[in-house]
Amino acid sequence: MSTPVSAADRTLLVRLNRRSRAGIEELCEDLGVTATAVRQRLSRLSDAGMIDRQPVKIGRGRPKHLYGLTADGKRALGSNYQELADAMWSALSEVEDERTRSFLFGRLQDTLVSRYGGDSVGKGALRERLAGLRDALQVHGFTVEVDDSGPLPVLREHHCPYLDISEDDPQICELEQKVFERVLGTGVVLTRCCRDGDSCCEFTPDGSGLTQLGSVEAEVSR
């Protein structure tokens, strides 16, 4: 699971990583915040599976709890995927051979379809497919919802997951749109876009049928 980490939470994770394990008092001293603030961050990170706690008996009385990073916490602390994604996208875009570039972008599309659709690609009623896509995106850290209040359901992303890339290259928006079309098995219209200054990105299924595409290897080999 990919869980967004705020700057304040990351600071706490860094402190815990340096100390190996620490109690609330030590973290208050390190961070310069109240015990209430520390407990709130610890609770949030514990719910996300990034930290655990161990009771330690010190003399008489109730045991003291020491907190430490889990494997997920260490992974979150070491993650800087945005920089890597920007570099990889730039490298793909600069491939000069058109057939090779098309093949590589197609393989990327295949990977994202598999990640967000899995075995349910194009199956079930449209609203069920939208709900499944929403759930898959949320698992991967997207802030997304399905708005079913209008005549057509809308998949709404409350922040652009590829903002830095999209500012320089609108192809990333087209890629995401095509991935959603394949997962949903229907045409999708990008009706609002953060790249255009909107506060969110909205994808509206238009109801047109799509032939589910397999791997692009068949396309490239024509």
Q: What is the structure's pLDDT at 80?
A: 61
| C-beta neighbour count of 87 within 10 angstroms | 10
Distance separating alpha carbons of residues 183 and 124, to the nearest angstrom: 11
Distance separating alpha carbons of residues 39 and 37, to the nearest angstrom: 5
Could you tell me the domains of the chain? 7-77 (1.10.10.10), 81-220 (3.30.1380)
Q: What is the structure's pLDDT at 4?
A: 63
Instruction: Dump pLDDT digits (tens) for 97-147.
Output: 999 999 999 999 999 999 998 777 667 788 889 999 999 998 887 889 999
Low-confidence ranges of the chain (pLDDT < 50): 1, 211-222
